[in-house]
Structures are given as structure tokens and as C-alpha cells.
Amino acid sequence: MAPRKKTAAGATPANKAASDDTMTDGPREIGERDRVTLQKITDLAFSALAEVRRGKNPALSIPVRALSNVSFDQEAGLIRLGESRQSRNFFHLKQAKLFMQTFLIAEHCKKLIEAGATTSIRDIYYGAKHSVAGTKENTFEEQAESDPIIEDLEVTIDALREELHLRAENRGAMVGPMTIRDTGDTIDLRRMGSGGWSIPSIVEDNRIEFMKTEAEYILFIEKGAVWARLNEDRFWQKNNCMLLHGSGMAARGTRRLLRRMHEELKLPLYVLTDNDPWGFYIYSVIKQGSINLAYESMRMAVPQARFLGLMSSDAERFNLQANVSMALKDEDSARIEQLMRYDWFAAKRWQEELALMKKTQKKYELEALSSRGIRFITEEYIPQKLRGKRGDSWLD
Amino acid sequence: MTTEALIQDPEALKPAGRRASAEAMGAKQRDISVSEFFTKNRHLLGFDNPAKALLTTIKEAVDNALDACEEAGILPTLDVTVEEVSDGRYRVRVEDNGPGIVKEQIPKIFAKLLYGSKFHRLRQSRGQQGIGISAAGMYGHLTTGRPVVVVSKIGKGRPAWRVEVRIDSRTNEPKQLNDKNDTVTWEKDHGTSVEIELMGLYRGGRTSVDAYLEQTVVANPHLELSYKPPKGPLVHFPRVSDLLPPEAQEIKPHPHGVELGMLIKILHESGRRHVAQTLMEEFSRVTQPVADELCKRAGIDPNAVAARVDAAKIEALHAAMVASNAALPPIKKFASKVARSDGNLREEVLEEGTGFSPTLADLVIRRGGLEPTVKAKLVTPMMVEKLYASLHDSQVKILPPPANCIVPVGEALVMEGLRRRFKGEFFTSHTRPPAVYRGNPFVVEAGVAFGGTLSRDDSADVLRFANRVPLLYQPRACAIHEAVLKVDWKSYGLQQRKGELPVGPLAIFVHLASVWVPFTSEAKEAVAHYDEVVREIRLALMECGRKLGAWVKAQQAERWETQRKSLFEKYIVELAASIHSITKVSEESVKKDFTDALPNHVRIAIAPVEGAAPGVDAGGEPAPGEGAAEAAAGPVEAEAEAPEPKASRPSERPPDMGDDGDGEPFYKDMTPGNSRQLVLKVRSKSGRK
Ligand SMILES: Nc1ncnc2c1ncn2[C@@H]1O[C@H](COP(=O)(O)OP(=O)(O)O)[C@@H](O)[C@H]1O
Ligand SMILES: [Mg+2]
């Protein structure tokens, strides 16, 4: 990575190398990691060219990212990607455009790597978007089209997103008794005010270094609003923990950060989500990985993570009144059915929880705990959960 | 019973003898001339309402012109002008390039009913439609007081006579109003022009003059027609075939097909001949025993002078002649109909039977010991049986007419005719071999015009013809219409709802040629539903449909291939730029490599016509010569749908795709509808903060 240049005020902290002067700095040393990635991209293009020169239908072989091609590794507690691959051909009515788009993205990534720049997946969407010569059609109509192409490229050439010099928007935040170095800047996470430190999409150790910490565990909270409540109470200070939220589903950066903290700092991870199938699933993604990004489970999952709730059985345990519950919607019920069939929800306690939710037809938001008092969650709920027994007070 | 009374006053159908004696009435009837008869019964000639009167007038004149030209071996060139001279008053002029008419004949032809050359023989083309041009002239005079104006010239250097003539309806004799030696200068070598003024009604639509002329043009590709309608510009239909239709072999009329008017005329004009002799000489397949038997049934002395036979007896004779062509439905079906009927017995027989005239119905009913006016409900099954026996008894065995006299338009000319009328993209036609219904030979031919400027959103245009004459009225009652509905047009790539006409840019032509066309009624507006006839029409239409379907498919395949090619071509440009940028291989050379490989992978794949969209067939087939293993590894359609192949259950897809830890929307390249739903789900999760 090129040395950090100060960017204009207001630029996102992690947006380190995208400024124009990087490109004009003269011949740039290309690191070993970048060289490997560049080679993979060039190989992909040459092999397509070789195929078409023999009159064949050039194909990309893309690992299949779907339920049918993942398996749950019970021992490691991880979702793993299977061996199935699918062929993406150019001379195919439905695949021609996807094929072209894949190379368009590859071309842009190659340029980024050569320039030593990193860009967001939104930037690359705009960068690669133009009208197809002689038509009104665009190479990409919306970012929703380019994002999966990026994932396809990642798995096809076996390169991580950051190796392609791509990142997503920052998402989620962290506070807690720890000091880190973020691309050269020292940041004290004890002094992040009410908003916390915004978690970037790339958190590899060449960018984010952990320095000093007194934290004893990590508490991940699904929702920013509940996190803000805890931060206001300085829960992390009283309890010596790192406090994170993911703004809903934890993004790759957040998941990778949780994994690194768990692994490098040996901190246990606790997860607090809403009591609904979506909350349960957020927990499972942090713990075992996801279907779509199964190829990244190895670097992102935290199989030892623990679930602090909300559980369906908590309603009784904490004496939550019926009027703070919400009725399940059809899509909730359908999602419960699906979860019950996933291997990584096969454990008896999870099946019981899901069955109970189904039976009561009720779900609870974390905020429902506030019905018991504003500090109930920090002073009663979490401490009690942490003290309690596995399978009873918390699940894994 | 008088003919007149029969038609005008159903009360008169009460058993004879209750009112005036037959003799008394018969005496009166002798005084009625044909022209008086038809004046009072103009509906018999097609003048029952102003719109129909206008159409019939034009039809008679055009039919005559075409007949005359064809008989003289001249390619017809016609000018038709219809002018509204004042409100509801029209001047019709039809001019032809035919052989012309000799001066002496003109007044009689145009102002004497039942005067002509065609009644004495039967040709399978026009001229059977009515009493003819003189009736039109008479109607015109009756409604406007104006005579018929004729100009005719029979050869180069000969004078063009101008004749103004009207009929004296009391005597059925012509009255020329202008100087007998009036001539005009006419640049034409020969031809005839007829001008008639009449009260009428010009309107558009299915039964309009325009529709009639347009359809005449379809059935007569050798006709050149200029038509100046009352409103709008002159329409010109150039000739599309220089071939005159082969002259239909002339045969005498067959008793099955004779119309009452024709029979009256034949007998009236038989000079001093006896009835039996006249029948034998004027009709085909009538031998002495047949003639005697017919006379016996009509209560006529075979040796009576034919011209003196009274109208009632002529009607009876007519009934006897057509009886052997009449039929009732199977007895069980008919009996149950009768039992549930609200009408009288005559109405039931006319409705359920085929080939009955009211007279014949009454005759058969009476012979079965019943009254035509009795409530059908009251008729017991045993009496119904007697009715059948009576019909059987009434039927004189007459040999069917010979088959060699039927001349269809011909496949090539049907197509030419359609081409001239419709600016379509595809035309086809099919002529069936001769078939027979109830002993009558007939030939069906069908044609279709498709695409082009034909309306895409309307029902198909069905053109019906019987012996080259367009049928404009009563489509729903017609066997041709029924047969069109019975064809499954969907299998030929058209839209069709059950029991309805197909929808699409389609015109359907059906021509039924026969010595005796089975019309549903005397009005000759619709073809009767004989199974054999419907079946032949269906088969002819299906043959056309098959050819049409194949063409539609080929068109689609062609269109798809171009679409596919251009799809690949446009992406090759993009792809070449990217590959060039990655590999530094020149863009032109990359483009060439891909373009060269393109033909190996684009094939015309004929997809099912219905519902199939481009791209349903698998693209990306392995290039020729590739191994089977590679072929098997070719793209699987389902997987082509999205980077992620389908989950085990479709319902699992959204969440499976939505578990991306990046929190970016999870859409993949699913259909927009699906992806929106997905994004929504994810948002609803994160949107709760
Ligand atoms: N335009 C015409 N050119 C030559 N001959 C004609 C023309 N119109 C009528 N005729 C002759 O006059 C005859 C009588 O015509 P019409 O009264 O219409 O009876 P039909 O056509 O049934 O014989 C025809 O048979 C034909 O010989
Ligand atoms: Mg005529």
C-alpha cells in the first residue's frame, strides 16, 4: 500500500488511496499480493481468448453460491462451500451479458490494482457503467447488477474483495476499552463520543491494528439504537467489553473484525439480537458464516460465539407483557420453517426456540426490554444472561 | 292458395275450402302478371329494404357484366359509380367492356322481367341470384319514377345506342321513352353501361356495397375494377390475372336446385310445350318416369300446356322437385325438439329441416295427416313418425347431377385475388378434391392472407363465397363460419378463444362451388350445415392453417436469429474492449476472434410458436466437433438464470441470497420483480432500527 495521503476534509477515514495523485506518483511498486491478483485476472482473459480462437464457446467456471452447494461442517462449526461450479458462457443468450460484465469488472479491478487505489463497490459500478455501443442499453443498469458480478469474480479467481481493491460502505460501529491503529492513525475507542468508531469494510491487519485493550469480552448488538442506549450508559466501561453493532445484518468488515478480535485477542463473543427469525439468522451468520459468502467463512466466522437472546423463552423469564410483543407475519413464519431445516439450526435448543416462536406466533424487539425500565437491559438482562447457564440463559 | 297469399298472409294457410273456393281464387290469379307479382313481393328479389335494394341493384348489374364478358371471352374492366343525388336517392352506373347488346334486345333485357339468356341453362357461376337487372330497373322506376338508361355498343365502328326504358308492370312489357335512334359517341369499341336511379341507403360494414365489391375482386382476379363510392375517392383494383376462368361447363338445372322464380319463368316461356316435355328438356336427370311422377305429386296433368299451369300448381311442382333434397334430423332428436317447441309445426320443420321451402313443408305435413299451424307441442311421437313417412313418400328418386361441371377459382388465382385485396405478408390457398353431399357434387377452396396491414387486434376477416358470389348476410348461420370456428387456429400460432373467430392479422377466404349450393334459405345468404360440407371446409382451412403456421414459425426463427446475432455482436464490442485492456491484445483482433466464432454458436432453433420468447432455446451449444463430455458440461439453462443456481426450494431463495454479510442488496440477476422483493426483505430487517 502506498503511504497514506491526507485526503480532503470529509473524506471517509478509510478512503485512503483513491485520490488522483496516487495515479501520478510515477511507476509504483506493485506488491507481491497485488501481482498474484493481477496475474489471475490476466490468466482469465487469456484463457477466454484461447478458447474462442479454437472456435469454442468461452466459459467462466464459477463456484456455485447457493444452499445446494454449501455444507455445514459440524466439527469446525462452519458453513463450507462445496465443489459445484457452474459454467458461464459467452455464446449463450442469457449469459452473454453476464460474461461481458464479469470482464468489465475484472478490467476495472486490474486498473485499480495497477493504480494502487481502492474504491467502493458503488464507485466501481459507476466506473463500469456506460451504454453498450450503439444501443440504449447500459452495461449495468443498477448497482444490484454489478455487486454479484464482483462476488462472482472473487470466487472465480479466488481473490478476496480487498485483493481486488474493492470495499463496501462503512457499516456498523464500535466502542470499548481498546486503542487501535487505523491506516496509520491511532484511535482510542474509549473516546468515540456517542457515534462510535465507524467500521470500515476492509479491516485486515495491514490497515487495522489492535494495540492496547482491557476488554474481557465482545458484545455484538444487532441494532444501532440499542447499542446507542448501552453506549450512553457506558456499559462497555462498567463491564469491560467491546461494544459493536452491525446496523442489522453484520457486514463483511464487521464480521472480519469480530473474528480477528476473537482470534487475536482471545475475547469471547456474545450476540444480542431481536427475537425473530431474522435476528436468529444474524447470529448464525456471525457464528457459522453465510451461504452466499461460504467461501469466506474460514476468515469470518466465530464458531464459539454465544447467543444472549432475545430468546422466545425470555418473554416468560423476564416477565415481558404480551403488549410489547408483535405478531408474526407470513414471511416470518416462512423464514422460521427455513431456519428449522438448516443443519446449523439442527441443535435441540434451537429447534425448541424456533418451535416456541412458531407456537406463540409472537416476536419481540430488543427494545421491548425497556418496558421493564430504561436500564433494565444493562443492569438486569445482560448481567443475568452472562451469569446464567448454557442452553438455559444463553445458547450457542 | 295463391303464391302471393301464401307469402303475405299466413292465415291463408288454413285448410283450403274454408274460404273462397280454389277455383275462384285461381281465376283471379290468372290476371296477375309476373311484374305485378314481383312488385308486391319485392323481398323475393332482394329489394326488401333500402340498403339491400342498393346492393342488389349493383350486384345484378355487376354479375351481368361479368357473365357477359366471360361468356364473350373478354377480360372484364368495370366502372362502378354510386352517387347520392339527393337524400336517400342514388344513381348507380355500371359500365363494362363486354360484348354489348344488340339494339332490339335492350328494352326487353332492362324492362321485361324473366327475359334473359341464362335461365335456360345452369352454369355454376353467377346469374342465379335473382330475376335480374330488369327487376332492379323496375324497383328504381317504382321508387323514383326514373327510367333505366342504357348505352351499349357491340363493335368498333358500330353506333353506341342510348336507350331510356321503363317497365309497364301491368303488362310486363318495356316502354322506351327516348327516340329509338338515339346514339352517343363512345370511345369504347364495345360494352354496355347501365344507369339506374333508386331510393336506397348507402352504409358501410359487412353487408355494404363496398364489402361486396371488394370481395368480388377477391373471387375474380381477372377483373379490373374502378369504384367511385358516394363518399370518398375512387378506388381502383388493377387486374392481377390475365387468365379468364375456364368456362364452366354448361348443364341444365337439376330439379334439386331449382328456385320457384326460375321454375315459373321456365314454364311461362315454354311456348306450347307440355309440362312433362318441358321438364325433361329444361332439366338434367329428368326422364319420362321422373317427369310423370313429379307431375303426379303436384296434381298436374303431364300433358297440360306448361305456360298455362297456375301458380299454386307450379308451387306444388316446385315442392315435388326439391323434396328429394330435403331432410329432417334423426327422428329422436326431431321428436324431442317438437315436444319442447313453442311454435307451430311448420316453423319446426323449416327450422330443423334442411332444403324445405314453406310450401314443401306444408305439403309434407298435410300428407302426414297434420296441419302446419298446429302447435308442435301437441304432436305425438307417432304423428312425427308419419311425418317422416310422408317426406319419404314425397321424394321422387332423381339421379344426382354430374360432377364435371364444377369449376373452382383455383389455388393460384385465389391467392392472386387475396393479394390484390389485402396488403399481407403471407398468402396461401388450398382447393379440395370434389366431394358429395346428398348426391350433390361440390368443391371447397380456402385461402388465407396474413400479416402486413391487416389489423392485428381484430377478429379474422372471413370472406364467404358460393359459386364466386360473395355472401354478405347471416354469417353466424353459415356453415363456412361454423367451420372456421371449428379449426384450432391456436396451433397455427394465432390467438383464438373457444368458440370464437381467431384474432390476428388474418383474412380467411372460403369458396363453395357446386351445381346446387345448399343454402339455409331461399334468400341464399348462408350455407347450410351439412356435415360433409363443414368437414370439407375445415380440411381446406386446416391445410391453409398448416402452411400459415409453418411460415409464422420460420419468420419467428429468422427474427430470433437476427436478434441473437445482434445481441452477441453488441456484447462482443464491449468484451473486446475489456479483454484488450486486460491482455493488451489488440481490440480489433479480439473482436475478430469472437466474431469468427459466432456462427458456430448461433443456430436457428425453432421454438414453439406459442408463448415462446427468444432465448428459450439453449444458446451456447458446443461447437461442432466438440466431445460429448464437453457438450454435457455446457450451460444448464436453470443455472444460467443467476450466478447462484436454484436453491432446493424456490421459496428458500430470497433468504439464502439475503444472507450476505455485506448488507448490500441481494438480487442476483433475477427478475426485477423478485429482486425488489428481496431488497425489501433485507431493508425491512435493517430498517427497523
Ligand atoms: N352488361 C351486359 N352485357 C351483355 N349482355 C347483358 C348485360 N346485362 C344483361 N345482359 C343480357 O341480358 C340477359 C338478362 O339479364 P338478367 O335480366 O340480369 O337475367 P340473367 O342475368 O339472370 O340472365 C342476360 O342473360 C344477358 O344475356
Ligand atoms: Mg342477371
What structural domains does chain A harbor? Answer: 32-167 (1.10.10.10), 173-387 (3.40.1360.10)
Residue nearest to atom 1 of ligand 1 (CA): B65
The pLDDT, as a whole number, for residue A282 is 95
Shortest CA distance from A84: residue in chain B? B645
Give pLDDT tens digits for B144-180: 999 999 999 999 999 999 999 998 878 888 999 999 9
Q: In B, which residues are within 8 Å of A274 by CB distance? A: 688
Terminal Cα distance for chain A, rounded: 39
Contact A98 B643 (CB under 8 A): yes
Please enumerate, as own/partner, the contacts of B233-241 that have beta carbons within 8 Å and a separation of 24 or more: B237/B420, B237/B421, B238/B420, B239/B75, B239/B77, B240/B416, B240/B417, B240/B419, B240/B420, B241/B413, B241/B416
**Is the Cβ atom of B113 under 6 angstroms away from ligand 1?**
no
DSSP B335: H
| Ramachandran quadrant class, B494 (left: phi over 0; alpha: psi -120 to 50; beta: rest) | beta
Length of chain A: 396
CA-closest candidate to residue B122, choices B431, B467, B465:
B467
Q: Rounded CA gap, B568 and B171, in Å?
A: 84
**Is the Cβ atom of B420 under 6 angstroms away from ligand 1?**
no
| pLDDT bucket at A5, cuts 50 / 70 / 90 | very low
* Residues in B 216-275 with any Cβ partner in A closer than 8 A: none
Is the pTM higher than 0.95? The answer reads no
Q: Rounded CA gap, B686 and B680, in Å?
A: 10
Cβ B563 vs Cβ B504: under 8 Å = no
Length of chain B: 689
CA-closest candidate to residue B165, choices B210, B193, B134, B122:
B134
Atom of ligand 1 nearest to the CA of B133: 18
**Is the Cβ atom of B118 under 6 angstroms away from ligand 1?**
yes
Q: Rounded CA gap, B650 and A288, in Å?
A: 23
Q: Rounded CA gap, B404 and B250, in Å?
A: 10
For a pocket test of ligand 1, which of B57, B62, B64, B134 has the largest count of ligand atoms closer than 8 A to its C-beta? Answer: B64
Structure-block grid coordinates of residue B377:
307441442
B62 CA from centroid of ligand 2 (Å): 8
Ligand that lies nearest to the alpha carbon of residue B116, given by its number in the listed order: 1
Q: Average pLDDT, stretch A230-235?
A: 91
**Is the Cβ atom of B556 under 6 angstroms away from ligand 1?**
no
Whether B641 has a pLDDT exceeding 60, the answer reads no
Q: In B, which residues are within 8 Å of A95 by CB distance? A: 619-620, 635, 640
Cβ A170 vs Cβ B664: under 8 Å = no
Give pLDDT tens digits for B312-324: 899 889 889 888 7
Least confident of A4-13, A294-303, B373-382: A4-13
For a pocket test of ligand 1, which of B79, B110, B118 has the largest count of ligand atoms closer than 8 A to its C-beta? Answer: B118
**Is the Cβ atom of B257 under 6 angstroms away from ligand 1?**
no
CA-closest candidate to residue A300, choices B644, B660, B645:
B660
Residue B465 to residues B46, B218, B224, B365, Cα–Cα distance (Å): 17, 10, 19, 33
At residue A304, what is the residue type? Q
Mutation site for B-interface testing, chosen from A62, A87, A92, A335 by largest number of B Cβ within 10 Å: A92
**How far A346 CA sits from the closest chain B CA (Å)?**
17
| Ramachandran quadrant class, A248 (left: phi over 0; alpha: psi -120 to 50; beta: rest) | left
Residue nearest to atom 7 of ligand 1 (CA): B64
A254 CA from centroid of ligand 1 (Å): 100
**Is the Cβ atom of B127 under 6 angstroms away from ligand 1?**
yes
* Torsion angles phi and psi, residue B166, rounded to 5: -135, 160
Contact A292 B637 (CB under 8 A): no
At residue B154, what is the residue type? I
CA-closest candidate to residue B236, choices B446, B420, B23:
B420
The pLDDT, as a whole number, for residue B534 is 93
**Is the Cβ atom of B128 under 6 angstroms away from ligand 1?**
no
* Residues in B 530-589 with any Cβ partner in A closer than 8 A: 564, 567-568, 570-571, 573-575, 577-579, 581-583, 585
The pLDDT, as a whole number, for residue A352 is 92
The pLDDT, as a whole number, for residue B502 is 95
| pLDDT bucket at A277, cuts 50 / 70 / 90 | very high
Q: Rounded CA gap, B463 and B429, in Å?
A: 13
CA-closest candidate to residue A201, choices A280, A284, A123:
A123
Cβ A89 vs Cβ A99: under 8 Å = yes
Contact B574 A65 (CB under 8 A): no
The pLDDT, as a whole number, for residue A188 is 95
The pLDDT, as a whole number, for residue B114 is 66
Please work out, in degrees rounded to the nearest 5, the angle formed at the alpha carbon of residue A336 by the alpha carbons of A335 and A342.
90
Whether B638 has a pLDDT exceeding 90, the answer reads no
Tell whether B651 lies on the interface with A, counting CB pairs under 8 A.
yes
* Beta carbons within 10 angstroms of residue B180's beta carbon: 10
Q: Average pLDDT, stretch B179-198?
A: 95
Contact B643 A62 (CB under 8 A): yes
Q: Average pLDDT, stretch B408-422?
A: 91
The pLDDT, as a whole number, for residue B603 is 61
Average pLDDT over chain A, rounded to an integer: 88
C-alpha atoms less than 13 angstroms from C-alpha of B567 in its C-beta half-sphere: 22
Average pLDDT over chain B, rounded to an integer: 79
| pLDDT bucket at B97, cuts 50 / 70 / 90 | very high
Element (H, E) at B510: strand B506-514
Whether B604 has a pLDDT exceeding 70, the answer reads no
Whether B656 has a pLDDT exceeding 60, the answer reads no
Ligand that lies nearest to the alpha carbon of residue B123, given by its number in the listed order: 1
B220 CA from centroid of ligand 1 (Å): 19
Return the residue matching grid coordinates 327510367. B147
Terminal Cα distance for chain B, rounded: 99
Q: Average pLDDT, stretch A148-158?
A: 92
Q: Taking the C-alpha atoms of B335, B336, B337 and B340 in order, what is their torsion angle to the nearest 10 degrees?
A: 120
Percentage of residues of chain A with pLDDT beyond 70: 93
At residue B573, what is the residue type? V
CA-closest candidate to residue B405, choices B246, B251, B219:
B251
Q: What is the 3-state secondary structure (H, E, C) of chain A?
A: CCCCCCCCCCCCCCCCCCCHHHHCCCCCCCCHHHHHHHHHHHHHHHHHHHHHHCCCCCEEEEECCCHHHEEEECCCCEEEECCCEEEEECCCCCCHHHHHHHHHHHHHHHHHHHHCCCEEHHHHHHHHCCECCCCCCECCCCHHHHHHHHHHHHHHCCCCCHHHCEECCCCCEEECCEEEEECCEEEECCCCCCCCEECCCCCCCCCEEEEEECCCEEEEECCHHHHHHHHHCCHHHHHCEEEEECCCCCCHHHHHHHHHHHHHCCCCEEEECCECHHHHHHHHHHHHCCCCCHHHHHHHCCCCCEEEECCCCHHHHCCCCHHHCEECCHHHHHHHHHHHHCHHHCCHHHHHHHHHHHHHCEEECHHHHHHHCCCHHHHHHHHHHHHCCECCCEEC
Kindly give, in sequence order, each residue whose CB lies less than 8 Å from that of residue A118, ignoring residues fewer than 6 positions away.
A15, A16, A17, A18, A112, A162, A165, A166, A167, A202
Catalogue the active-site residues of A: 126
Q: Residue A55: which of B582, B600, B633 has the nearest Cβ?
A: B600
The more confidently predicted of residues B607 and B252 is: B252
B429 CA from centroid of ligand 1 (Å): 32
Helix, strand or coil, per DSSP, at residue B382: helix
Q: Rounded CA gap, A286 and A218, in Å?
A: 13
**Is the Cβ atom of B174 under 6 angstroms away from ligand 1?**
no
Sign of the Cα torsion A83, A89, A92, A98 reads positive
DSSP bridge pairs for B237: B225
DSSP bridge pairs for B163: B150
Least confident of A10-24, A212-226, A247-261, B410-424: A10-24
The pLDDT, as a whole number, for residue B4 is 40
Residue nearest to atom 9 of ligand 1 (CA): B64
Helix, strand or coil, per DSSP, at residue B241: coil
Atom of ligand 1 nearest to the CA of B152: 3
* Beta carbons within 10 angstroms of residue A195's beta carbon: 11
Q: Average pLDDT, stretch B204-226?
A: 92
Structure-block grid coordinates of residue A228:
446507542
B116 CA from centroid of ligand 1 (Å): 6
Cβ B120 vs Cβ B131: under 8 Å = no
Tell whether B643 lies on the interface with A, counting CB pairs under 8 A.
yes
Cβ B361 vs Cβ B349: under 8 Å = yes
Q: Rounded CA gap, B575 and B563, in Å?
A: 18
| pLDDT bucket at B522, cuts 50 / 70 / 90 | low
Q: Average pLDDT, stretch A107-124?
A: 93
B139 CA from centroid of ligand 2 (Å): 15
Cβ A260 vs Cβ A180: under 8 Å = no
Mutation site for B-interface testing, chosen from A67, A111, A171 by largest number of B Cβ within 10 Å: A67
Please enumerate, as own/partner, the contacts of B221-226 that have beta carbons within 8 Å and a separation of 24 or more: B221/B409, B221/B413, B221/B416, B221/B417, B221/B420, B222/B75, B222/B76, B222/B413, B223/B66, B223/B76, B223/B77, B223/B78, B224/B75, B224/B76, B224/B77, B224/B78, B225/B77, B225/B78, B225/B79, B225/B80, B226/B78, B226/B79, B226/B80
**Is the Cβ atom of B64 under 6 angstroms away from ligand 1?**
yes
Q: Rounded CA gap, B60 and B316, in Å?
A: 28
Strands B89-96 and B191-199: antiparallel
B131 CA from centroid of ligand 2 (Å): 7
Least confident of B49-58, B69-78, B481-490, B638-647: B638-647
Whether B514 has a pLDDT exceeding 90, the answer reads no
Q: In B, which residues are within 8 Å of A87 by CB distance? A: 633-636, 639
How would DSSP label each residue in B173-233? EEEE-S-TT-EE--SSSSEEEEEEEEE-----STTSHHHHHHHHHHH-TT-EEEEE-SSS-
Return the residue matching grid coordinates 475475547. A267
The more confidently predicted of residues B245 and B548 is: B548
The pLDDT, as a whole number, for residue A302 is 95
Ligand that lies nearest to the alpha carbon of residue B120, given by its number in the listed order: 1
**Is the Cβ atom of B116 under 6 angstroms away from ligand 1?**
yes
The more confidently predicted of residues A175 and B630 is: A175
Give pLDDT tens digits for B660-670: 333 332 222 32
The pLDDT, as a whole number, for residue B405 is 75
The pLDDT, as a whole number, for residue B629 is 33
Give pLDDT tens digits for B425-446: 999 999 998 887 766 778 999 9
Q: Rounded CA gap, B676 and B98, in Å?
A: 74
The more confidently predicted of residues B545 and B561 is: B545
Contact A64 B646 (CB under 8 A): no
Using N-to-C axis directions, what is the helix angle for B260-268 and B275-282, rounded to 10°?
120
Q: In A, which residues are within 8 Å of B636 by CB distance? A: 86-87
Helix, strand or coil, per DSSP, at residue B167: strand
